[in-house]
Homo-oligomer: A and B are copies of this chain.
């Protein structure tokens, strides 16, 4: 029974169609029809997915004439990434190195 924000977020991300929708929205806002185009499901199904994403705070909806463009909101993604970041020590090589590199860069700039 997912009620907390993090559960809602991860749950929303657990569907490939919804992740694809978010990927599309990363390029800018889009209408339901535009979003539905690549998928072999009905518009209504996509509309439902958008409801889920909206409920999770991952998208907001605008209103322009008869269109209700969806726009990405990153906040919950940031929280999810924050939760995952606590397990960095269990990740293997590459990310660690990237992170170390970023820290080094930052250190050079700030120090």
Contact = CB atoms under 8 A, between A and B. Distances in A.
Interface of A: 2, 4, 6-7, 10-11, 13-16, 19, 22-23, 26, 72-75, 77-78, 80-93, 95, 98, 102, 105-106
A4 B26 contact: no
A10 B14 contact: yes
Nearest to A80: B84
A25 B7 CA distance: 19
B95 A106 contact: no
Nearest to A86: B26
Nearest to A2: B14
A7 B14 contact: yes
Contact of A14 (B11, B72, B84, B102): B11
B92 A74 contact: yes
B92 A85 contact: no
Contacts of A74: 87, 89-92
